[in-house]
Amino acid sequence: MRGGAEPGSGSVPPGTTPSAAPTLGELYDLLLSAYGPQHWWPGDGPFEVLVGAVLTQNTAWRNVERALEGLRIAGALNPEAIVAARPDRLAAWIRSAGTHNVKAARLQGLCRWFLESGGFAALARSPLPQLRQALLSIKGVGPETADDILLYAFGRPVFVIDAYTRRILGRLGLARGDEGYEALRGAMESGLPAEPGLFGEYHALLVAHAKAVCRPRPLCGACCLRPRCPAGAAPGEGCGASAKAPRRRRKTPPE
């Protein structure tokens, strides 16, 4: 990857072998080579990204797909219908996504803001800091949800941080793993070319890797990063062997 960044020299935990850790650029190349393009975000257009970013909080994407289908069948997969819907009806349409009453209220708040702000055409003209702040001011929209929307719906160069990112970077010695959200986001954004396409692909690849092998109990023996990973525990057998065709979308960890 052109413009790949060197990891911060002070970020490697004691007792590891920092010279083995890949740079951010090398890590991207290794993951892309192993898993291929992930084609995120799935769905029909940016409005589905908005809705999906809320629905995917704390649940698997397969549940989000069912909730989106529920909205589609009800003719309510648009901001006007979501705002106008009776809360209990909206909650029933998205029941499969879990915590449906909470998510219904969040969806209505997000869609109300979306409409009052003039929709995509108007919001697309907003400077990134203002747009991000506006999203964060909506009840139930935390940094990860806001950044999902900014990156995948608005094509803005923000790096989405989630538990998978922390886990992998921490194990590789590229981060401590316990940094605050903004600190880790800033480190990723300053260490990579500010390209939304790259950020979107990188985030998706980290999720694919975390699901395939870098799990809470990692399958290091099947990981191609193992020779470069201070936390690797066993000889590699080829990265992503069982994950060439990952799920379309993931669970988003709690914010």
* Minimum separation from the CB atom of position 245 to ligand SF4 (A): 19
Asked if 7 interacts with ligand SF4 (CB under 6 A), we say no
Q: Which residues contact 48 (CB under 8 A, 6 or more apart)?
A: 68, 77
Query: Burial, 189: exposed, middle or buried (Cβ in 10 Å; 0-12, 13-18, 19+)?
Result: middle
Closest CA to 27 of 161, 201, 241: 201
Whole-number minimum distance, CB 19 to ligand SF4, in Å? 15
Pick from 143, 232, 240, 246: which binds ligand SF4 (CB under 6 A)? 232
Residues 205/16, Cβ–Cβ less than 8 Å: no
Q: Does 225 bind ligand SF4 (CB under 6 A)?
A: yes
Residues, the chain, total?
255
Rule CB under 6 A: choose which of 30, 85, 97, 214 binds ligand SF4. Answer: 214
229 part of the interface to ligand SF4, by CB under 6 A: yes
Binding residue for ligand SF4, selected from 100, 103, 226, 250, defined by CB under 6 A: 226
Find the binder of ligand SF4 among 153, 220, 246, 252 (CB under 6 A). 220
Measured from the CB atom, is 97 or 172 closer to ligand SF4? 172
Work out whether 30 is an interface residue with ligand SF4 (CB under 6 A).
no
| Residue 6 per-residue DSSP state | P
Number of residues that bind ligand SF4 (CB under 6 A): 14
Per-residue CA distances from 6 to 22, 175, 255 (Å): 8, 12, 28
Query: Considering only residues 153-172, where is the footprint of ligand SF4 by CB under 6 A?
Result: 168, 171-172
Q: If you search the block for the tokens 């399958």, which residue do you land on?
A: 219
Shortest reach from residue 41's CB to ligand SF4, in Å: 24
H or E segment to which residue 148 belongs: helix 143-148
Q: How far is Cα 15 from Cα 234, in angstroms, rounded to an integer?
A: 17
Cβ at position 2, least distance to ligand SF4 in Å? 23
Q: Point out which residues bind ligand SF4 (CB under 6 A).
A: 168, 171-172, 213-214, 218-220, 223, 225-226, 229, 231-232
